[in-house]
Every structure is written in C-alpha cells, then in structure tokens.
C-alpha cells in the first residue's frame, strides 16, 4: 500500500494520508496494527527501532495462559524484609530511586489486597483466556505455527515446605480450569533429564505456549502486516502532534497525517501522554537476560523457574536464556546486571552450561500500572487518540488479545471483552 505523504502546501488544512498511526512496534503495537488492518484500516507503524527490538525482545517467551492472578505486592513479612534489604534476586532496588517509586509502591500494595487482587484477576481473565488462541490465529495467518511450543513451563522448588505451599496455591486455581501436573523429583527428572536433582518437586503448567525467539515472533508478525500492505517506518513518537481533526508526525523526512493515533510505546508511552497533560502512574520494572550455551549435549525441554533463587532458564534460539527478576530503577539509568551475577552460579549448579553467548547482558523495561491492568482505550480529552500500554509483565502474552480488543473498540464492533476495567478514567 503506497501513500503520498506530506505533499499538501502548509497553508491548506492537513488532509489525512491514512486512517491510523500506531506508535510502537513491539508486540502490542504490531498486534494493534494487524487487527486494525484486518478491519479495513490503512495503518502506518512507527518506531525508532525495528519491530521487536525493545521490550518485546527480552522476556521468557511465555504466552502465559496460566497466569490468571496478577503478580501482586507480597504481604508476608519475611518476604518483605528480604526484598527491602536487597537480599533476593527476585527484586532489587536502586536506593536513590526508592523515594521516587515509594508512592507507586504504596498504591501497588493497596491494590494487592486479597479482595482487589481477585477483582483484578476477574477483569483480566477474558484477555488471559484468549492469549494462546489469539496468538495461534496470528501465527496461522503468518505461516509460523512452528514457533509455538505446546509443552508449557515449570516452577521448581528446592524445599518440601515451599513445594507444599505451591501445590496448595495451584489447587486454589482449580476454579479456572487450568491444567497442571505436580511433579515429584522422579517425575521432574523424567521430563528434564539434564536438570540436577536439587529440587523437591515442581508445578508443570500445561496450558501456556512458549516461543524460542520472542523478538523474532514480533518481526514475523510485522512482516505479515507489511505483506498485507502495511508500512513500517522509523520515527520519533514524541513528535506526535494534533493536526486539525487528526494527528501528524514527521518520520523519514516526511510529514504524515492520520485520522487517529494509537500510543503503544510500552515504557516510553509517557513521552507522548505527559506533554498532552495526562498523569498516569506508569512505573518501569527493569529486567536482564543473558544467553548461555548448553554444555555438551545437554537439553532443556521447558522454561523452568528456580523459585527460591529468583531466576528463569528458557531454551531459546540463541541458547539457554537466563532471565532475572525485577529491578526498581529509573528507566534510563545505566545498566547494573547484579541479578545476573547473583543467579548465574545457581543456574550452573542445576543445569550444564558453557560459555555466555553475549558478554554484556541485555536490559529491558517492563511498563507496569499499580492496579495490575493495562490501559486499553481512548484518551478522554483528545479525539482520535488511543492508548494501549502498561501490561505488567504480560505484553507478549496479551499482545494479540489487546490488539483485537482495541481494534474492535476503534471500529465500532462489539468488543469480545468488557473494556471498562482498562479505561484511563480510573486514574482520574
């Protein structure tokens, strides 16, 4: 699909070149672009980098159908003390950042009460339930069904006490109809023969799908968008301007005008909404990963979390990906991969690992809102502006479902899920 962009004289009112500008070429933006395109909209996808090279690149590759309860603020005193003193690889604070993040943490703690957490789970469930289904549909359209692995993932526990608690927690989710196996040491060894025998047991979640190259998956989805006539262009989303009844942006040396715009910039969404006067409690949780070659003929069959040591190992195209927990720090601070250094010795003790594939760990930022729901819907004070960000660790999981929901809202279809829990108005 071709357009004549920015060809009108500046004295004339700008006439839209297309229907929608989608800002952000991660999994959320690409999914929104695809679903709008399927509904007959002309779409331009804009990002400063190529599709899938930012937050969408660095994750565990989980399409997390089993995560029906959001990740809430812990309430156990022992856990809180461990986190507060930086004695856990799960969570790490930059002390200089703590005063800035404290109001957000206080609201997160409030939203994590058992009653509010259950409400958040209920609100998120329609998206979670569609997560694998919507990915499967897009993969089929893109001809990349082979990217989805259907073996699920595992949570492994070192102590009997922790494993007993995990079994109880899994059974508490039976109302959601999730499939899982409770594995003792022998069953775990049968499914992961090269894993060292240091675990009391594991919960094997069977419903999720996994992918071995999350960034590559986004690239494939973007290629489908382009094959269908869409355009991907490099540009600075922060330069978005309201232009008459539409929205304009200078990208690739051209002025582009569209009737509507979608902000799907993940942790950089504030570069657009703040200048427009919106105050949204968007926080960033940073995370790290590094790829390590498996030693000899060792094979890891499933992503596996070493729960008590706070890291995940996932078989990826580039090797075994070691991913960390979260780091609270300013989004743009220099990287400090302390959690990688903390967890790598534990990982090497449970699985045969060789040399690092890349010496410098990758760092990314996860956009999070304190009530554990994304923003999906219209900007209340700006006609034709839409938001889709803040997916709280589940961007890869919820990308296609989010794209469908927002596209249905934008085109006047009956949404497959109630969009009310995701409205911006909940933040005033």
Residue 8, pLDDT > 90, answer no
Q: Strands, E, within 85-174: which ranges?
A: 91-93, 153-157
Helix, coil or strand: residue 295: coil
Residue 11, pLDDT > 60, answer no
Angle between helices 214-227 and 27-38 (to 10 degrees): 30
Average pLDDT (135-139) is: 98
Contact call for residues 201 and 163 (beta carbons, < 8 A) = yes
Residue 7, pLDDT > 50, answer no
Residue 1, pLDDT > 80, answer no
Report the pLDDT value the prediction gives residue 14, as an integer from 0 to 100.
Answer: 57
Instruction: Give per-residue pLDDT as tens, 146-159.
Output: 999 999 999 999 99
Average pLDDT (106-129) is: 96
Residue 104, pLDDT > 60, answer yes
Task: Tell me if the domain spanning 1-72+113-147+210-281+371-428 has CATH number 3.90.1150.10.
Answer: no
Tokens of 305: 């979390």
DSSP code for 149: B
DSSP code for 13: P
Average pLDDT (386-410) is: 97
| Nearest residue to 129 via CA among 423, 416, 421 | 416
Q: Which residue has the higher pLDDT, 88 or 55?
A: 55
Average pLDDT (210-224) is: 97
Average pLDDT taken over every residue of the chain: 93
Q: Which residue has the higher pLDDT, 80 or 229?
A: 229
Average pLDDT (313-330) is: 96
Report the pLDDT value the prediction gives residue 12, as an integer from 0 to 100.
Answer: 52
pTM of the model as a whole: 0.94
* 227 membership: H or E segment, kind and range: helix 214-227
Q: How many CA atoms lie within 13 A of 324 on its CB side?
A: 29
Fold match between 1-72+113-147+210-281+371-428 and 79-112+148-209+282-368?
Answer: no
Report the pLDDT value the prediction gives residue 76, as an integer from 0 to 100.
Answer: 82
Report the pLDDT value the prediction gives residue 85, as an integer from 0 to 100.
Answer: 79
| Percent of the chain predicted with pLDDT > 90 | 86
Instruction: Give per-residue pLDDT as tens, 233-243.
Output: 999 999 999 98
Residue 13, pLDDT > 60, answer no
Confidence class for position 331, pLDDT limits 50, 70, 90: very high
Tokens of 37: 């395109």
Residue 384, pLDDT > 90, answer yes
Average pLDDT (317-334) is: 95
Average pLDDT (219-223) is: 98
Residue 292, pLDDT > 70, answer yes
Report the pLDDT value the prediction gives residue 88, as an integer from 0 to 100.
Answer: 80
Q: Which residue has the higher pLDDT, 126 or 14?
A: 126
Which of these CATH numbers, 3.30.9.10, 3.40.50.11540, 3.40.1280.10, 3.40.190.10, describes 79-112+148-209+282-368? 3.30.9.10
Average pLDDT (55-78) is: 90
Delimit the domains of the chain by residue range. Answer: 1-72+113-147+210-281+371-428, 79-112+148-209+282-368
Residue 245, pLDDT > 80, answer yes
Report the pLDDT value the prediction gives residue 75, as an integer from 0 to 100.
Answer: 80
Pairing of strands 326-328, 241-243: unpaired
């Amino acid at each position: 699909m071709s357009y004549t962009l920015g060809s009108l004289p500046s004295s004339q009112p700008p006439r839209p070149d297309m229907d929608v500008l989608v800002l952000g070429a991660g999994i959320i933006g690409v999914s929104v672009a695809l679903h709008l395109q399927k509904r007959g909209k002309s779409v331009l996808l804009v990002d400063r980098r190529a599709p899938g090279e930012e937050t969408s690149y660095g994750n565990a590759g989980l399409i997390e159908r089993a995560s029906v309860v959001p990740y809430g603020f812990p309430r156990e005193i022992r856990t809180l003390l461990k986190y507060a003193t930086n004695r856990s690889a799960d969570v790490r604070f930059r002390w200089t950042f703590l005063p800035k993040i404290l109001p957000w943490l206080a609201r997160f703690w409030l939203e994590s009460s058992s009653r509010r957490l259950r409400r958040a789970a209920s609100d998120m469930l329609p998206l979670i339930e569609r997560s694998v289904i919507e990915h499967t549909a897009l993969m089929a359209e893109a001809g990349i069904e082979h990217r989805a692995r259907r073996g699920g993932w595992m949570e492994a526990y070192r102590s009997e006490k922790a494993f007993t608690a995990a079994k109880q927690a899994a059974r508490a989710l039976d109302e959601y109809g999730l499939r899982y196996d409770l594995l003792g040491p022998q069953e775990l060894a049968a499914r992961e023969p090269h894993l060292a025998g240091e675990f009391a047991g594991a919960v094997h979640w069977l419903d999720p799908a996994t992918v071995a190259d999350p960034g590559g998956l986004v690239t494939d989805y973007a290629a489908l968008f382009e094959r269908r006539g869409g355009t991907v262009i490099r540009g600075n989303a922060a330069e978005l301007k309201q232009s008459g009844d539409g929205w304009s942006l200078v990208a690739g040396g051209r002025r582009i005008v569209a009737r509507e715009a979608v902000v799907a910039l993940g942790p950089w969404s504030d570069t657009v909404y703040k200048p427009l006067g919106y105050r949204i409690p968007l926080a960033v949780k940073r995370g790290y990963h590094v790829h390590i070659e498996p030693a000899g003929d060792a094979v890891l069959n499933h992503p596996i979390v070493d729960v008590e040591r706070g890291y995940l190992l996932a078989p990826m195209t580039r090797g075994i990906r070691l991913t960390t927990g979260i780091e609270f720090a300013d989004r743009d601070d220099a990287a400090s991969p302390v959690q990688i250094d903390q967890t790598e010795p534990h990982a090497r003790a449970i699985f045969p690992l060789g040399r690092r594939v890349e010496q410098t760990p990758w760092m990314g930022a996860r956009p999070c809102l304190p009530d554990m729901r994304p923003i999906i819907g219209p900007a209340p004070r700006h006609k034709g502006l839409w938001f889709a960000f803040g997916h709280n660790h589940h961007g890869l999981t919820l990308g296609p479902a989010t794209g469908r929901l927002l596209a249905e809202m934008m085109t006047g279809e009956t949404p497959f899920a109630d969009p009310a829990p995701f409205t911006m108005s909940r933040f005033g």
